[in-house]
Structures are given as structure tokens and as C-alpha cells.
A and B are shown apart, each in its own frame.
Chain A
Amino acid sequence: MLSSAQIAQLELQLNKLFDQCQVVTAAVVATIDGHFCAQKQRANTYSLERLATMGSTLMSLGDTITAELKMGGCDNVISENREGIVVFMHVGRDLVLVTLTTQKNALGMLLSHTRRCVEELTKTL
């Protein structure tokens, strides 16, 4: 499990993500086995503890599918929906970052800022 200093780092980076990318509605970090670590959302809309666990499931399925197809590691899983987009990304070997937006045309923004956040998290943890 993460130390309180590491969780503070996660929260700092999520704050930065929200400052830099206005389309992000919510973000959550989980361990690879589905334990909630940190979250941020613009309004208190979602139960992000469940999303954290689902993030680990989705990334694991992504890894399993790409291994089956011999496509290398899974970088991210994208869920495009009628009322928004959800992006799942690995953070190093042990964490998963899930971000979401309710704007249907913001996939590029969401992906690029989520990727930048992952890079920052990987550097700092």
C-alpha cells in the first residue's frame, strides 16, 4: 500500500491535472489490484471508490487482450459513451489512473492531459 507522502503526491498531481485541463470531470488513482488511493472531482457526482476497483479490472483485461494478440503492453483503455468518455491508464507497474469527461468531443484533450499526468506521477512516485 502507498505511504501518506505518496498519496499526498498523487493528490498534488491530480490537482495539477484539474488546473491544466478544464474538461476533466473526475479522476481517481487505484492500485493495480483495485484499492482506492486518491481522487478528485469537480462536483461530488460519482462514487469513485467503485470506479477505482473497476479501473484495475479494465486495465488487467486490456493487458490480457494485448498479451493474447501479442501486441505488447496495454497503454490505455478508452470507453467512449453517449454522455462522456472514460480513460484508463497504467501508472508504472503498480497503479492505475482513471479520468473522465462529460464532454463527448474532448477525447484528445483528455488523453493528452491524462498521459502527461501519468508521466508526472511516474517521475514523482
Chain B
Amino acid sequence: MSNEIKLVFTGSAGAGKTSAIAAISEIPVINTDVRATDLTTLQHKSKTTVAMDYGELTLDDGQKLRLYGTPGQQRFDYMWRILIKGALGLIILVDNSGTDPIGDLARYLDNFRGFINETSAVIGVTRMDISAEPNLQCYYDYLGERSIQLPVFPVDARSRESIVMLIQALIAMLEYGN
């Protein structure tokens, strides 16, 4: 495996992609957040990412992770295609307090289907403390219906420990296969 790994965080707006990268990056995060103007986004946060986030993390074994975050909204899907080029793994964050978390997951599985089939991905479910439903079994049931085998973890996007655990799971899958 190369000593540098590109990972991409994607997921619904407000799911915690920018926070997750900020929680683990060892360099000041480069972000492209601007003021949100639509009510849907403003319900969650005052700013939104319109191009990308970027951070870096060096693991204990010396591997350097280059961490990219995508914008969440579908209208920025051209950035999804740009950012996924050359990536080795994908982290999908889903906001469990959103109106349709399983639907959100479906959207990102569909948009990144080709990439997921070729490499690997993990799913992190955020804000389970605010909304316990759907529970993890609901996510596994949905993935099972689609014959997709990906791990699902409850995570706190602000917690370094939580996000590092998610990344370690993804790297283990990349190194040893799914």
C-alpha cells in the first residue's frame, strides 16, 4: 500500500463532514464554507461547504492520510466526481436526526456506486444521541436488501477518537479486503 492514502468524506449537508476532518486533521483545515441562504440548510447550520474541505493525518505507522470532504447537497455533485478521483476509500456520514436518513444513505450509495464496487467504504451515523431511530439494524437491513456489505458505526463527528475508529476500519478493509 502507498504511504499516502486519499480518503473522501461525503454525506448529507450537516452530517458532520467538515467537523470530522477538523477533529482529526494535524494541519489547519482548508475549507470553503460560505454563509447558507436556504432554510433547509439553516435549520442545521449557518455555513455550508461549496467546494471541498481538506485536512491531513499521519497514522502511527507513518501512513499519511489526505482527507477530502465533499459538499453535501446534490447540486454540487460535480465536485463529488472531481474529489473521488484517485481516492482509495469513502466515508459516508449520515445525519440520523434528518428527515430521511436511510434515503440520504441511498442517495450517496447510488452516486458513488461505481467507486464503492471497486474499492471500499464505511458508513458513520451521526446524531444518534438526538434521534435513536432508525437504529443500526435498520441500516443493516437496508444494506442487506441491496446486497451491500458495508460496516455501519455510530459516530460523533466532533470526536477525534470516533472518527479515527471509522478511518481505521476503512483502512483495515482496504488492506485486508472486504
Contact = CB atoms under 8 A, between A and B. Distances in A.
Interface of A: 1, 31-35, 50, 53-54, 56-58, 60-61, 63-64, 68, 93-94
Nearest to A93: B35
Contacts of B34: 32-33, 56, 60
A32 B51 contact: no
A60 B48 contact: no
B32 A94 contact: no
B58 interface: no
Contacts of A56: 34, 50
Contact of B76 (A34, A61, A94): A34
Contact of A35 (B31, B37, B78): B37
Overall SS of chain B's interface: mixed
Overall SS of chain A's interface: helix
Contact of B32 (A35, A54, A57, A93): A57
B142 to A, nearest CB: 29
A32 B37 CA distance: 8
Interface residues of B, number: 18
A31 B75 contact: no
A61 B71 CA distance: 13
B50 A33 contact: yes
Given A57-B50, A60-B50, A33 B30 contact: no
Contacts of A32: 34-35, 37, 50
A33 B36 contact: yes
A35 B51 contact: no
Contact of B48 (A33, A63, A94): A33
B76 A53 contact: yes
Given A60-B51, A61-B51, A35 B38 contact: yes
A33 B35 contact: yes
Q: Chain B CB within 10 Å — which of A54, A63, A94 has the most?
A: A54
Nearest to A67: B30
Given A1-B37, A57-B50, A34 B75 contact: yes
Given A50-B78, A53-B76, A57-B51, A1 B30 contact: no
Interface string B21-50: 000000000111011111001000000101
24 contacts: A1-B37, A1-B38, A33-B34, A33-B38, A33-B41, A33-B48, A33-B50, A34-B50, A34-B73, A34-B76, A35-B37, A35-B38, A53-B75, A53-B76, A53-B78, A56-B34, A57-B50, A57-B76, A57-B79, A58-B51, A60-B32, A60-B51, A64-B32, A64-B51
